[in-house]
Amino acid sequence: MSGHGHIKSNFTAGELAPDLLGRVDLRLWDNGAACLRNVLVRPTGGITRRPGLRWLAVVPGPGRLLSFEFNTALVFMLVLTDRKMTVFRSLPSGQGVRYIRELETPWTLEHLAAINWSQSSDTLLVVHPLVPPHKIVCHAEDSWSVTPWVFETGPGGVPKVPFARFAPLDVALRTDGGVKGEVHLHADKPFFTPAHVGGWIRLHGVPVKLLSLVTAQKMKARIEGTLSSAAYSTDWVEAVFSEARGWPVSVTFHQNRLVIGGSRDLPHHLWLSRVGDFFNFDPGQGLDDDALHMPILSDQVNAIRHVFPGRHLQVFTTGAEWMVLGEPLSPASILVRRQTGIGSLASRSIPPCDVDGATVFVAAGGRELRAFLFSDSEQAYQAQDLSLMASHRVEDPVDMDYDPRWRLLHMVMGAGTMATVTNYRREQITAWSVQETDGDILSVRVCGGLTCLLVRRGAVVCLECLDETAFTDCAQKRETRGAVASLGGLVALDNKQVYVAGADPGFVPATVRRGWVHLSHPLRSPDVGLPFSHVVEPLPPAVAGAGGGVYGRSIRLIRASFRVLGTGHLVVDTGSGPVPVDFCAAVPLSFHGDAEEDKAVCEVAVRALGWRTGHPRPLWRIEQDTPAPCTILSVLTDLRSAG
């Protein structure tokens, strides 16, 4: 029989995947955990119970969140639902949001999964390959508009958009004899469809507007100029963006140009507008400030999913990652180079995030999170796998955003949970945990210091935010002058068991019926919300044997000491069921001689009985729904092993 003392000084490896349970040789084993639910990993090493979710509003239905930052003082949250957009203003100092107005939009609920967007000043551009691109403009705090893009036009209303050949090369067009004005276009093979009406082509380089469909081989049109010949010709091209050929897939701004990555029918092409003229894509004479067009060609069709303005213009496709070179970008200097061959998720749009200088994106297949980072030594980009040690937590991602204030990357999964990554690249900290609530998390967006979530609770969809003053979910506070015995308007909490807190310490359990909760005794300024449990479970113990690190055949936990910060309640299960820790015996720790510090940091111990044999199991487990702060800094375990 031998004794072992093991100190878990930090949790900076986060939750580890089950397929790592045999890798006791890894340093991550000492710093990882088997389960971290509803907790956040602190960069200093400890773990803390996540903030509660403060209820903000009920929204029309499921959808997607977008942030709109006009300036540091005017920040808005846009809730896109089925053909609607609800605007909320983010209030300063984390005070929540205020409803502004609701507008009609062209995007259905099905469209929202594939939209891409980018903002410049007071305008947010939103694109979808099946819907004409629109812009959301903030004219004033309470004045908003949602309108289609209008490309720059030349004489005769000819749009300054790119043109390309879509039809087979042997399809020829002619007119009925006329070379200018209104004519009938004839195709030698069936080609025209109703979607072509209103579109543009260039025949012999001359713009022609298609006015109305006669047959699949005949179209009424108007020539803006004079054709050189009325005979059949294969010298013609179509406008790239149209009802017939689809619309942009992704969009961003780079070097004072509007960048469009891919369209429905040309998914592997890249277009850059004229410098300073965002809606002018006319290539002109090929001058340095003229518009650019670049196909991304390789051994396969690399459909562009996202374009991102990082250190270089970065292009994320379904099969590889690329960078666009050129300082500045011009027709003479532009060059596209392949960097890595990971590929991006194709089933839905999850825009990449800038995290500590790296561009984080969801890899093809939806099972990996990658960091696209330029290596000075290699003079090329690399794509590090951030989810390698927690691969079980990346499954069917649907949304993602980064909170730079707390260095937390939040990723919403299709199952309604949210994975959180504490990421400090220089400190080599990548720690995963998972957040759950009584409902389904649908979308996440960081807006003006607020991390907002779209949460479906039964038949109701709510806008909520992480709030450090809330200790429950869907928390709703009512300011009252005196004590009240009942509280109404709790539609999102109907038929739920809730905790109710007042101005005095403590929480009272209650049940919401028909939107009302009746209290056993009156409370002043009650705060009502759903309880949630946080779980902390370490990895099974591994002790040293003659052959190196192995699982002990028989292990007994003698004592577990928890160093906690600002924690007054802790429930620990050492194998005999959950038991509340006696804080009366806590040992206060002083670092600066501050009385408040003495109360905040202390060490509590739990003793255990009995031997454990067979399948390795964690020595202790914490699971509690107490609506109060809980932070664990480190854990010291004293154990005995035999065999």
Q: If we measure between CA atoms, which residue out of 487, 523, 519 comes closest to residue 502?
A: 523
Q: Please report the pLDDT score of residue 166 as a whole number.
A: 96
Q: What is the pTM of this model?
A: 0.93
Phi first, then psi: what are they for 551, rounded to 5°? Answer: -70, 135
- Share of residues in the chain with pLDDT > 70 (%): 94
Residue 610 — very low, low, confident or very high, per pLDDT cuts 50/70/90? confident
| Amino acid 589: pLDDT | 80
H or E stretch at 389:
none
Calpha distance 90→74 (Å, rounded): 8
197 or 609: whose pLDDT is higher?
197
- CA–CA gap between residue 240 and residue 273 (Å, rounded): 14
Reported as a single tens digit per residue, the pLDDT across 214-266 is 999 999 999 999 999 999 999 999 999 999 999 999 999 999 999 999 999 99
- From the CB of residue 113, how many other CB atoms can be counted at a distance below 10 Å? 15
Q: How far apart are CA 409 and CA 397, in angstroms?
A: 13
Cα–Cα distance for residue pair 213/197, rounded to 1 Å: 7
- Structure confidence by residue, pLDDT tens digits, 273-297: 999 999 999 998 989 999 999 999 8
Tell me the per-residue pLDDT of 454-499, one tens digit each, with 9 for 90 and over.
999 999 999 999 999 999 999 998 888 888 888 888 989 999 999 9
Least confident of 8-22, 402-416, 435-449: 8-22
Q: Which tokens is 286 given?
A: 């090929």
**What tens digit of pLDDT does each residue of 146-185 get?**
999 999 999 989 999 999 999 999 999 999 988 999 999 9
Percent of the chain with pLDDT over 90: 75
- The span from the CA of 452 to the CA of 446, in Å, is 6
Burial class (CB in 10 A: 0-12, 13-18, 19+), 6: middle
Torsion sign (Cα): 314, 319, 320, 325: negative
How far apart CA 479 and CA 13 sit, in angstroms, is 42
Whole-angstrom Cα distance, residue 604 to residue 277? 65
Q: In the prediction, which pLDDT does 598 show?
A: 45
What is the pLDDT, as a whole number, of residue 96? 83
Per-residue pLDDT at 560 exceeds 60 = yes
Higher model confidence: residue 118 or residue 506? 118
- Model confidence at 188: pLDDT above 50: yes
**Residues 381, 372: Cα–Cα separation, whole Å:** 6
Q: What's the pLDDT score for residue 592?
A: 59
Encoding tokens for residue 110?
């099905």
pLDDT at residue 615 tops 80: no
pLDDT at 99 over 50: yes
pLDDT at residue number 1 = 54
Does 548 score more than 50 pLDDT? no
pLDDT tens digits, one per residue of 375-386: 988 889 999 999
pLDDT at residue number 606: 92
Mean pLDDT (the chain) is 91
pLDDT at 584 over 90: no
Dihedral sign for Cα atoms in the order 468, 473, 476, 479: negative
Count of alpha carbons within 13 angstroms of residue 296, beta-carbon side? 32
Across the range 32-50, mean pLDDT stands at 96
- Residue 470 has a pLDDT of 94
Tell which residue, 533, 530, 606, 543, has the closest CA to residue 573.
606
Query: Where is pLDDT greater, at 549 or 450?
Result: 450
434 touches 420 (CB < 8 A): yes
pLDDT classification of 614: cutoffs 50, 70, 90: low
How many Cα neighbours within 13 Å face the side chain of 298?
A: 19
pLDDT at residue number 107? 98
Is the Cβ–Cβ distance between 397 and 444 less than 8 Å? no
- pLDDT, one tens digit per residue, over 496-534 is 999 998 766 678 899 999 999 998 888 888 999 999 999
Which pairing describes strands 97-104 and 483-487: parallel, antiparallel, or unpaired?
unpaired
